[in-house]
Amino acid sequence: MDCKKAQRLYHELADGQVAEPMATALRRHLDECSDCRVFQQRAARLQQLLTLKRHEQPPPAYFENFLGEFHRRLALETMRPVWWERLFSMITLDLPSTWRYGLAGACSLLLVLGFVWKASDHLHGGASQPPVAAVTANPSVATVAHVSTVSVDPKQAVAPSAWRTETSGPQYVLERIAVTPASYETASVRF
Amino acid sequence: MTTLRQLAQRLKPSPVMKQQADLTHEEDETLVARAQGGDASAFDVLVERYKQRVYATVYHMTGNHEDANDLVQDAFIKAYRNLHSFKGQSSFYTWIYRIAVNRTINFLKRRKDRGHLSLNDMDANVETDPDYVELMSHITPRREVGLNELQEKLNEAIQKLSEEHRAVVIMHDVQGMTHADIAKVMHCSEGTVRSRLFYARQQLQGLLSDYL
């Protein structure tokens, strides 16, 4: 048995945790090895010193009022408000009136800003959404989607026929279509 | 003028005290069940039963009276408030120890400096303790020191251990708890307890090499 293992097991032996035949082998090693014997003696003294700490006691009357103190602290703990109650009381009672008005104003402003932001988002109908992604329809790269973002000019996005200038009136898409709409019946049709 | 009968009436134990005295012989499980059912005096008996042992462990971990007292009081208050969550899977003793030790470890981790040590004196029985007799007869320190100084050095050395190692060495070597109980308190395996114990003792031996 090597010294490292013996020294590790010595504490276990002192605790009665080492079973036979390991215990006998360990005792034999301790008889033969002077270094381990010195270690063992020091460990035994440390053990005794630690055990004597049980005699370290507080003054005799120390625990006399322990239960009373426990009840006092428990009552205080029960009466102590929870965090949201403390926060609420701080807002409503403890702060000076100017702070209270300021805090109330800040909260109101935050609410209004939140409402405005939400409303504008709704009106623009997703203008704040990221630009439309274009996917190349290249069959050779079918497995990998090439996504490129396209910057969109609001003027370009609308058909020129819908533009309105100062000199001309509004033009509509149907005016520029050469083909006759299906709903217009020709005069040649006879019943 | 107070008559003898009035004095006797005053000294007569109140019904609450009488009830508490009746409960002192009850098992932990019974007391816990009664406390869970709203009988506060049953919990008082549990406090009385374990206060000194829990205090001793916490005191040896912090090395300070005031901190130990606060932490033990807090541990019992937390136990009382969370009594409904105690399912009896472990003993009350293990449970209260776990609360106290965890609170102490958290406290020690938060505490930046080691704080001041306010050590208790040895009681009068120490001189008749076989460990004391053997230690004093065989000790051959490189420096001549008395038991009190030796204890002081030991306490300083204990404070240098990590919180987890300190807790294990105190519960095992000072309080005499088993590896299994310590494992339950510390929420770890018995192997971890053994390993921490070995490392802690080795460190203490190194720190006290001049005195052992």
A142-158 pLDDT, tens digit per residue, is 445 555 555 555 555 55
The answer, for B80 touching chain A at a CB cutoff of 8 Å, is: yes
pLDDT of residue B121: 62
Cis amide bond preceding A81, omega within 30: no
Q: Which amino acid is at A157?
A: A
Per-residue confidence (pLDDT) for residue A153, from 0 to 100: 57
The residue assigned the tokens 């965890």 is B102
Among the partner residues B51, B76, B119, nearest to A56 by beta-carbon distance: B119
The reported pLDDT for the residue numbered B53 is 92
Looking at beta carbons, which residues of chain A come within 8 Å of B52?
A: 63
- The vertex-B179 CA angle with B178 and B184, nearest 5°, equals 100
**pLDDT classification of A89: cutoffs 50, 70, 90:** low
CB B210 within 8 A of CB B149: no
pTM for the full predicted model: 0.63
- Sign of the C-alpha dihedral, residues B71, B76, B81, B86? positive
What's the whole-number mean pLDDT along residues B46-54?
Answer: 94
A41 to chain B, minimum CA–CA distance in Å?
9
- pLDDT by residue (tens digit) across B123-171? 666 667 777 666 666 655 555 567 778 888 888 899 999 999 999 999 9
Confidence of residue A134 (pLDDT cuts 50, 70, 90): very low
CA distance A148 to chain B (A): 52
Question: To which H or E segment does residue A157 belong?
Answer: helix A154-157
Q: Does B191 touch chain A (CB under 8 A)?
A: no
pLDDT, position A159: 54
Measured in angstroms, the CA of B1 and the nearest CA of chain A are apart by 30
